[in-house]
Structure 1
Amino acid sequence: MASSQVLTPTHEYPFAFAGPKPIMDPKERFYRQFQQEAVNIQEAIGQLSSIPKIGGERQDATDSILASISQLSNEVSDASDFVPAYDLRSYSQAVKALTDQLNEETAKLAPKTKFQFKPRAANITGVPKAGDDEFVPLPSVRGVPSGLAGPQPAADAQASSSIQSEKRDSVGALPSFPSKDYNAEMAKPGSSGVRKPSFSAARDVNISDHTGLHIILPSTASRATSSGSLTGLTGCVVDMSVPTAGQSAFAGLAIKSIAKSLIVAGHVNGPAHITGVSDSIVVVAARQVRIHECNNVDFYLHCGSRPIIEDCSGVRFAPIPACYLGEGVDPSTNQWDQVDDFKWLKAEHSPNWKILPAVERLAEEAWTKTVPGGPGVGTDDVLKKVGISSR
Structure 2
Amino acid sequence: MSSIGRTLLFSTAIVISGFTLLYFIPGTDKIPESLLKRNEERQELLKKKEENAGPSQAEAFKTAFKEKQLEIDEALNSCHHLDGDRNKIAERLNEISRELNILSKFLSASSMFLVAYDVKICTKGIQQLHDKMVDIEAALLPKKKFGFSSRIDKKKDNNKIIKDEIDTTENKCSPKITIKRASNSCGFTSRSNEELSLPHEEVFNKDVLLSDLNSCIVFIRGTPNTIHVVSSIKCKILTGPVATSVLVDTCTDTTFSMACQQLRVHNTLNCDFYIHVTTKAIIEDSQRVRFAPYNFYYPDLDIHFGLAGLKRDRNNWQQVDDFNWLVSNKQSPNWSLIPMEERIKF
**Coarse TM-score class (shorter-chain normalised):** 0.3 to 0.5
Higher radius of gyration, 1 or 2: 2
TM-score by length of structure 2 reads 0.45
Q: Which has the higher contact order (CA 8 A, sep 6+)?
A: 1
Q: In proportion to residue count, which structure has more helix?
A: 2
